Amino acid sequence: MALQVIGSGLGRTGTLSSKLALEQLGFGPCHHMVEVFMHPQTLPLWVAAGAGQGDWDAMFAGYRSMVDHPGCMYWRELAAHYPDAKVLHTVRDPGKWFDSTQATIFAPRPADAPEMPPPMKAFLDTVANWYGGDRNDRAFMLDFFARHTEAVIAGVPKDRLLVFDVAQGWEPLCAFMDVPVPDTPFPRENSTQQFQASMAGGGPGKLLEAARASHETR
């Protein structure tokens, strides 16, 4: 199964909402960072990708689409490897994006946090190395956010790319994917508060479970 959608947007740009939306539109399963935590046996593949040895077909076996980290780090390679896939670039207000990352995915690790298992540490190091700077520095990260979007826009043909803010809802995404607009609300999942609650109450698996349940009951 080849990827049909490549998500190039950074984490905390509505990627979990986009995952659920793509799955509802028939482009699932959709890979997202939560999948890595739920399937730790894939960690060596991602560490190898960070060293320039990405086995994309093995990493995305069974998936029709991907969003979020770590896949967004390899959007160039994936766009070349899956030439028929469309590229979905999620964005949001840069300042709000930075604030969200600091309260969630890039929050400073507590000094008394338990030591991470070596495979997970090696994987997270690939993410840190990709950013190439201080992920807690506002100026650096806002510049990174802008440069990342500029690179995607410059590197992907216009007819293959959608720059998308999830606040826009179904219409632009459905038009881009050439599918009908559902008669259900667009998923709105993984707010900062939801993320923090999920980490306290069971981690990524619980986050995904709760997000899907929330959307299915609407």
Gap between the Cα atoms of 67 and 14, Å rounded: 9
pLDDT digits (tens, 9 = 90+) for 86-98: 999 999 999 999 9
Closest Cα partner for 174 from 49, 12, 31, 24? Answer: 24
Which whole number is the average pLDDT over 7-32? 97
Helix runs in 51-181, H state only: 56-59, 75-81, 94-103, 118-131, 138-155, 170-177
Closest Cα partner for 135 from 201, 127, 29? Answer: 127
Rounded to two decimals, the pTM is 0.88
Helices (H) and strands (E) in the chain, counts: 11, 5
Q: Which domain holds residue 36?
A: 5-186
Domain assignment present for residue 38? The answer is yes
pLDDT digits (tens, 9 = 90+) for 40-78: 999 999 999 999 999 999 999 999 999 999 999 999 999
Domain assignment present for residue 212? The answer is no
Count of domains forming the chain: 1
Domain assignment present for residue 206? The answer is no
